[in-house]
């Protein structure tokens, strides 16, 4: 028991066992969405209850936890979830990607490559990649059973016919180990290649939709595409204005009402680490303090 | 010039303090007590118990107080507490036929054994704001209350069941497993036990709207109120070590038996049934006829497949109804749009800029059409 | 109460978590040997490793099946029942976890729950107590969790176990997941692992 009067990491042992059994099945069947008896959590559905349940089920006293939202450790919901585990499990927390053994994330995969000693836990709102093409669970379940993903290809192809591009920029569907088509959670497609052959275990929790799924380490994860329209990630014209990083995902910061913009790393730990190493972006000296510190919340 | 300010953490702490002070309101006024909420806002408490799926008046009252009267927030508080409670087992089914009745009405029979009991209802009040309540003191005249009979009061639909004109409930099998939607994720198509559990904790407003839609023709079920009853029933539990039922206490329930038309024919399983009325069932904690009636109407429409009826309306679609009627789930997901989505928005912005550039670089469709016509 | 019944996990939350993480790593990285150190003394012939897995994951909702060796010693079922609350079922197809003390007497694959095409997760996890994770028939596999083909050589194994593994993979995504529990260590072959050609 921790000081809160709740069990270690909040969940009771029976709930943890149920979630753990689902996680093991998810690992054995990569990309398949395992139904689980998701519990009501003390934070709202849609705010990371699936990720929180997965983290609570795998977390041990020796783990070091990092929580990010939009790539940042300091966004309010990341702060709230991190505090929840500090209170209920008393575990050590960190903002440094390299120090963490478990990283819970919403919408990003860290820029720093992950290692075999880490587990990445994704918060997932809608785990079913076919949901917006076919709203019925009975039907999508059948399509997964038959590995019938024609619907998804038709949708992507219609994009090309209409826009000249595949118009999906985040939650871009992937095929896992040549079998299941999976929703990578609403990460930008920029992060999709990081999922492929990743040394870390990737676990996905969808609390409201009551599904858990997994990508084991070193698993083939392919973004769906066409020969004449190969998958491509977002590119940015300029490097990070603070740390000068190229090939990272950037947030666009509006500076004024006259079109003033700056582009900075979405991954705040990556940005701070690079600045600590002496990398300097074009606007490092002039950017507002709230931006250089990675935080931008006020009461 | 990196500054290690953790803005989010500080902002959250401050927001919590501000909320606590807003909750208390003007401190020159006395604080409302949980007991006052339980007594004087009893129907709000009933709703929180029903949709929170936890029968505990004082906890529900506390939740209403803590949530500043936001009932969905209070329901959420109760649910999050409930989920941490250890589970000792399932009670025996409650017998509403032995209810200590406070109110009982039937719209199908003028008189019936046990009689009609109007009880505490808004039904025939004139909806005129009572400014006297606002004036000092809130004294009410002592109501005349008859002594509740200990006699069993048979349910109306069971009385008419004698003739075989109303669908019979299947005989209960004490060994049959009963689903538990809090322990097993729903799998479609669902069984009726699971559906009733979901509806019992479903959002009153959502179910009311769906029920109303069936009356307006979106999946019409020709309903009659066979009976609505409200009162207290005893809950019994059989501890494994004792082997016999012991009373645990009483709960107040509202039960609605809806009687619906059906012309007879083949059921989905191929079973042939003579012309008879069918039934829809509603049961909720506390006094809420609106919720119990809505539940009964929606229960019946969700049986469309069972009766091989044409399914075209939202209220007949179990995936649609059951996946969207939980207000804790719905409020969480709708409100999560408040969370930062910078990253996804940036991704869409990038694509849109590209599409716009290409659009502006391409010849306008009108010019293109003219050129094509000229060719 | 006998001392055998008294000794379960010393620290329910943390011991169960440790065993789970070892299992999770074993399944996530097939063929790798994951050390498991717990001082559990279950009634013979139940091994401490089988016992730890049962304590960590079995309960009312996750029934156990015991092979003949374990089933013939009533103290085993009694101990497991007391500590986990899990029903001990006689049909392996109803079990979430099958505890196999004598791998040579492993029932055929189709005796276990293999899941369905729609719900492949509704399958039995087969836990085999082995003497060692080395020195037996080399099982060379590739697939998720493995940066390059890996080899596991547990002993003893049932006859024709390679055929069983091949049949299991043919069923994918249905099938069972195998866990090998040797003294002080675990390794696993989930259904996603594929035998390599030269095996």
- The answer on pLDDT for C146 being more than 60 is yes
Kindly state whether residue B225 falls inside one of the protein's structural domains. Answer: yes
**In this predicted structure, which of B120-124, C16-20, C139-143 has the lowest mean pLDDT?**
B120-124
Query: What is the arithmetic mean of pLDDT over C146-160?
Result: 96
Q: What are the φ and ψ backbone dihedral angles of C12, each rounded to 5 degrees? A: -50, -50
Q: What count of other Cβ atoms lies within 10 Å of the Cβ of residue A146?
A: 11
pLDDT-based confidence at residue B1 (cuts at 50, 70, 90): very low
Q: Facing residues of A119 across strands?
A: A102, A201
- Which partners does chain C have (≥3 C-beta pairs < 8 Å)? A
**In this predicted structure, which of B290-294, B336-340, C28-32 has the lowest mean pLDDT?**
B336-340
The DSSP bridge pattern shows strands A34-35 and A64-69 to be unpaired
Q: How many domains does chain C have?
A: 1
Residues across chain C: 199
Residue A243 annotated among the catalytic residues of the structure: yes
Domain co-membership, B204 together with B157: yes
Q: What are the φ and ψ backbone dihedral angles of B363, each rounded to 5 degrees? A: -65, 145
Is A40 in Cβ contact with B319 (below 8 Å)? Answer: no
- In A, minimum Cα distance to B341 occurs at A70
Domain co-membership, B192 together with B241: yes
Cis peptide upstream of residue A129 (ω within 30 degrees of 0): no
Domain co-membership, A172 together with A245: no
Q: Of B30, B56, B82, at which residue does a domain stop?
A: B82
Kindly state whether residue A55 falls inside one of the protein's structural domains. Answer: yes
b vs e for A239-257, b when ≥16 Cβ sit within 10 Å of the residue's Cβ?
A: bbbbbbbeebbbbebeeee
Residue A198 annotated among the catalytic residues of the structure: no
Query: What is the arithmetic mean of pLDDT over C64-87?
Result: 96
How far B51 CA lies from chain A's nearest CA (Å)? 13
List CB contacts (< 8 A) between A59 and chain C.
Answer: 17
- Which partners does chain A have (≥3 C-beta pairs < 8 Å)? B, C
pLDDT for position A198: 98
Comparing CB atoms, the residue among A7, A116, A142 nearest residue C13 is: A7
Kindly state whether residue A8 falls inside one of the protein's structural domains. Answer: no
Kindly state whether residue A167 falls inside one of the protein's structural domains. Answer: yes
Kindly state whether residue A291 falls inside one of the protein's structural domains. Answer: no
List CB contacts (< 8 A) between B188 and chain A.
Answer: 136-138
Query: What is the arithmetic mean of pLDDT over B337-361?
Result: 91
Domain co-membership, A242 together with A106: no
Is any Cβ of chain B less than 8 angstroms from the Cβ of A96? Answer: no
Tokens coding B59 = 């906890």
Q: Facing residues of B246 across strands?
A: B237
Query: What is the arithmetic mean of pLDDT over C73-80?
Result: 96
pLDDT for position A250: 96
Is any Cβ of chain C less than 8 angstroms from the Cβ of A80? Answer: no
Containing domain of residue C111, as a range?
3-195
pLDDT-based confidence at residue B367 (cuts at 50, 70, 90): low
Q: What count of other Cβ atoms lies within 10 Å of the Cβ of residue B250?
A: 15
Domain co-membership, A121 together with A248: no
Residue A271 annotated among the catalytic residues of the structure: yes
Matching residue, tokens 């059994």: A21
Interface contacts (A, B; CB < 8 Å): 167
Q: Facing residues of C89 across strands?
A: C65
Q: What is the CATH number of the domain that holds A196?
A: 3.40.50
Query: What is the arithmetic mean of pLDDT over B245-274?
Result: 89
- The answer on pLDDT for B120 being more than 70 is yes
Alpha carbons B369 and C56: distance in angstroms, whole number: 71
Return mean pLDDT, chain C.
94
Query: What is the arithmetic mean of pLDDT over B249-270?
Result: 89
Is C145 in Cβ contact with A217 (below 8 Å)? Answer: yes
Cis peptide upstream of residue C173 (ω within 30 degrees of 0): yes
List CB contacts (< 8 A) between A74 and chain B.
Answer: 6-9
Domain co-membership, B75 together with B192: no
- Of A31, A71, A207, A294, the active-site residue reads A31
What residues in chain A have per-residue pLDDT under 50?
A: 1-2, 295-299
Domain co-membership, B163 together with B291: yes
- Of A26, A265, A281, A294, the active-site residue reads A265
Kindly state whether residue B48 falls inside one of the protein's structural domains. Answer: yes
Domain co-membership, A254 together with A144: no
* Element at C140 (helix H, strand E): strand C139-142
* Element at C79 (helix H, strand E): helix C74-84
pLDDT for position B136: 66
pLDDT for position B364: 67
Domain co-membership, A70 together with A168: yes
- In C, minimum Cα distance to A217 occurs at C145
**In this predicted structure, which of A141-145, B229-233, B236-240 has the lowest mean pLDDT?**
B236-240
Residue A265 annotated among the catalytic residues of the structure: yes
SS3 A229: strand
Is any Cβ of chain A less than 8 angstroms from the Cβ of C39? Answer: no
pLDDT for position B270: 83
Kindly state whether residue B60 falls inside one of the protein's structural domains. Answer: yes
List CB contacts (< 8 A) between C16 and chain A.
Answer: 13, 16-17
Domain co-membership, B192 together with B153: yes
pLDDT tens across B158-190, in order? 777 777 888 887 777 777 888 899 888 999 999
- In A, minimum Cα distance to B82 occurs at A40
Alpha carbons C50 and B33: distance in angstroms, whole number: 54
pLDDT-based confidence at residue B149 (cuts at 50, 70, 90): low
Domain co-membership, B349 together with B326: no
CA terminus-to-terminus distance, chain C: 50
pLDDT for position C2: 44
Domain co-membership, A255 together with A179: no
Interface of C with A in 76-95 (CB under 8 A): none
- The answer on pLDDT for B107 being more than 70 is yes
Domain co-membership, B256 together with B278: yes
pLDDT for position A297: 40
- The answer on pLDDT for B79 being more than 50 is yes
How far B181 CA lies from chain A's nearest CA (Å)? 8
Question: Which residues are within 8 A (CB) of B146 and not within 5 positions of it... i.e. 6 or more apart?
Answer: none
pLDDT tens across B202-226, in order? 999 999 999 999 999 999 889 999 9
- The answer on pLDDT for B2 being more than 60 is no
b vs e for C71-90, b when ≥16 Cβ sit within 10 Å of the residue's Cβ?
A: eebeebbebbeebbebbbee
pLDDT for position B240: 80
Is B9 in Cβ contact with A266 (below 8 Å)? Answer: no
Matching residue, tokens 């109501």: B143
Domain co-membership, B27 together with B64: yes
Among B273-287, C31-45, C116-130, the range with the most confident prediction by mean pLDDT is C116-130
Domain co-membership, B279 together with B185: yes
List CB contacts (< 8 A) between A177 and chain C.
Answer: 143-144, 192
pLDDT for position B5: 38
Kindly state whether residue B78 falls inside one of the protein's structural domains. Answer: yes
pLDDT tens across C99-108, in order? 999 999 999 9
pLDDT for position B114: 81
Query: What is the arithmetic mean of pLDDT over B71-85?
Result: 94
How far A44 CA lies from chain C's nearest CA (Å)? 25
Q: Of B82, B105, B132, at which residue does a domain stop?
A: B82
SS3 C164: helix
- The answer on pLDDT for C37 being more than 90 is no
b vs e for B208-241, b when ≥16 Cβ sit within 10 Å of the residue's Cβ?
A: bebbebbeeeebbbebebbbbbbbebbbbeeeee
Domain co-membership, A150 together with A59: yes
Domain co-membership, A239 together with A213: no
Q: Facing residues of A211 across strands?
A: A35, A206
Domain co-membership, B303 together with B157: yes
Domain co-membership, B19 together with B117: no
- Which partners does chain B have (≥3 C-beta pairs < 8 Å)? A
pLDDT for position B4: 33
pLDDT for position C59: 95
Domain co-membership, A267 together with A205: no
Cis peptide upstream of residue C45 (ω within 30 degrees of 0): yes
Alpha carbons A261 and A255: distance in angstroms, whole number: 5
Containing domain of residue A278, as a range?
235-286
pLDDT tens across B6-45, in order? 567 788 889 999 999 999 999 999 999 999 999 999 999 9
- The answer on pLDDT for B147 being more than 70 is no
Query: What is the arithmetic mean of pLDDT over B265-269?
Result: 81
Q: How far is CA B35 from the centre of its chain?
A: 24
Kindly state whether residue B89 falls inside one of the protein's structural domains. Answer: no
Containing domain of residue B362, as a range?
340-374
Tokens coding A196 = 């492929």
SS3 C132: strand
Interface of C with A in 117-136 (CB under 8 A): 117-121, 123, 125
Kindly state whether residue A2 falls inside one of the protein's structural domains. Answer: no
pLDDT for position B146: 67
pLDDT for position A293: 64
Q: Of A223, A256, A278, at which residue does a domain stop?
A: A223
Question: Which residues are within 8 A (CB) of A232 and not within 5 positions of it... i.e. 6 or more apart?
Answer: none
pLDDT for position A294: 54
Q: How many domains does chain A have?
A: 2
Kindly state whether residue B90 falls inside one of the protein's structural domains. Answer: no
Residue A278 annotated among the catalytic residues of the structure: no
- In A, minimum Cα distance to B52 occurs at A40
Q: How many domains does chain B have?
A: 3
pLDDT for position B371: 59
Domain co-membership, B41 together with B164: no
List CB contacts (< 8 A) between A13 and chain C.
Answer: 12-13, 16
Q: What is the CATH number of the domain that holds C66?
A: 3.40.50.11310
């Amino acid at each position: 028991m921790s000081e809160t009067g709740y069990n270690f990491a909040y969940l009771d042992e029976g709930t943890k066992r149920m979630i753990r059994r689902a996680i093991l099945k998810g690992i054995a069947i990569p990309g398949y969405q395992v139904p689980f008896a998701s519990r009501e959590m003390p934070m709202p559905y849609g705010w990371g209850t699936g990720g929180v349940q997965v983290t609570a089920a795998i977390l041990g006293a020796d783990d070091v936890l990092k929580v990010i939202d939009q790539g940042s450790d300091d966004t309010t919901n990341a702060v709230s979830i991190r505090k929840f585990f500090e209170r209920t499990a008393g575990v050590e927390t960190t903002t440094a990607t390299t120090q963490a053994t478990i990283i819970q994330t919403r919408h990003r995969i860290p820029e720093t490559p992950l290692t075999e000693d880490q587990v990445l836990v994704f918060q997932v709102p809608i785990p079913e990649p076919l949901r917006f093409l076919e709203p019925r669970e009975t039907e999508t379940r059948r399509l997964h059973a038959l590995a019938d993903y024609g619907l998804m290809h038709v949708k992507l192809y219609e994009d090309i016919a209409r826009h000249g591009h595949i118009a999906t920029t985040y939650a871009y569907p992937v095929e896992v180990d040549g079998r299941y088509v999976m929703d990578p959670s609403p990460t930008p497609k920029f992060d999709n290649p990081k999922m492929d052959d990743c040394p870390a275990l990737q676990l996905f929790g969808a609390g409201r939709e009551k599904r858990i799924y997994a990508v084991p380490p070193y698993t083939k994860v392919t973004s769906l595409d066409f020969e004449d329209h190969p998958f491509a990630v977002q590119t940015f014209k300029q490097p990070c204005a603070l740390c000068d990083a190229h090939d990272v995902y950037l947030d666009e910061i509006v500076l004024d009402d006259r079109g003033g913009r700056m582009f900075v790393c979405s991954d705040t730990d990556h940005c701070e680490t690079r600045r600590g190493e002496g990398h300097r972006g074009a606007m490092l000296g002039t950017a507002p303090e709230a931006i250089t510190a990675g935080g931008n919340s006020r009461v | 010039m990196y500054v290690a300010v953790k803005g989010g953490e500080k902002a959250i702490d401050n927001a919590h303090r501000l909320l606590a002070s807003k909750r208390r309101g003007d401190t020159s006024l006395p604080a409302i007590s949980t007991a006052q909420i339980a007594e004087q806002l009893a129907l709000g408490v009933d709703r929180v118990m029903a949709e929170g799926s936890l029968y505990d008046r004082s906890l529900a009252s506390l939740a209403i107080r803590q949530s500043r009267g936001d009932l969905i927030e209070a329901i959420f508080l109760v649910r999050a507490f409930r989920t941490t409670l250890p589970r000792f087992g399932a009670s025996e089914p409650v017998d509403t036929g032995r209810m200590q009745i406070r109110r009982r009405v039937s719209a199908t029979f003028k008189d019936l054994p046990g009689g009609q009991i109007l009880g505490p209802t808004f039904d025939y009040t004139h909806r005129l704001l009572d400014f006297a309540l606002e004036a000092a003191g809130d004294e009410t005249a002592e109501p005349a209350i008859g002594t509740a009979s200990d006699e069993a009061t048979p349910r109306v639909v069971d009385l008419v069941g004698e003739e075989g004109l109303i669908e019979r409930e299947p005989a209960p099998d004490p060994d049959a497993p009963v689903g538990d939607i809090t322990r097993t994720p729903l799998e479609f198509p669902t069984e009726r036990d699971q559906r009733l559990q979901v509806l019992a904790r479903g959002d009153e407003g959502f179910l009311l709207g769906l029920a109303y839609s069936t009356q307006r023709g979106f999946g019409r079920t020709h309903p009659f109120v066979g009976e609505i009853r409200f009162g207290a029933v005893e809950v019994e539990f059989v501890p494994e070590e004792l082997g016999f039922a012991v009373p645990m206490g009483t709960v107040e329930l509202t039960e609605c038996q809806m009687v619906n038309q059906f012309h007879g024919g083949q059921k989905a399983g191929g079973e042939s049934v003579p012309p008879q009325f069918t039934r829809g069932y509603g049961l909720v904690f506390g006094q809420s006829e609106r919720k119990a009636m809505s539940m009964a109407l929606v229960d019946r429409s969700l049986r469309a497949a069972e009766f091989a009826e044409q399914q075209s309306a939202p209220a007949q679609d179990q995936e649609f109804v059951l996946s969207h009627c939980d207000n804790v789930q719905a409020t969480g997901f709708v409100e999560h749009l408040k969370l930062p989505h910078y990253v996804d928005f940036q991704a869409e912005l990038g694509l849109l800029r590209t599409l716009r550039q290409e659009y502006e670089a391409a010849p306008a469709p009108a010019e293109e059409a003219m050129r094509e016509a000229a060719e | 109460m006998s001392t055998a019944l008294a000794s379960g996990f010393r620290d329910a939350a943390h011991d169960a978590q440790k065993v789970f993480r070892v299992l999770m790593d074993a399944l996530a990285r097939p063929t790798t040997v994951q050390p498991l150190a717990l001082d559990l003394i279950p009634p013979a012939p139940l091994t401490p490793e089988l016992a730890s897995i049962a304590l960590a994951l079995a309960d009312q909702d996750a029934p156990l099946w015991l092979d003949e060796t374990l089933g013939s010693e009533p103290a085993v079922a009694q101990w497991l029942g007391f500590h986990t609350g899990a029903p001990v079922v006689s049909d392996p197809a109803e079990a979430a976890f099958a505890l196999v003390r004598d791998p040579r007497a492993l029932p055929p694959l189709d005796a276990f729950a293999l899941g369905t095409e729609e719900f492949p997760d509704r399958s039995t996890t087969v836990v085999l107590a082995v003497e060692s994770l080395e020195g037996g028939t080399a099982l060379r596999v590739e697939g998720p969790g493995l940066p390059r083909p890996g080899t596991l050589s547990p002993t003893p194994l049932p006859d024709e176990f390679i055929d069983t593994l091949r049949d299991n993979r043919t069923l994918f995504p249905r099938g069972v997941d195998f866990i090998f529990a040797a003294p002080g260590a675990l390794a696993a072959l989930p259904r996603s692992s594929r035998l390599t050609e030269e095996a």
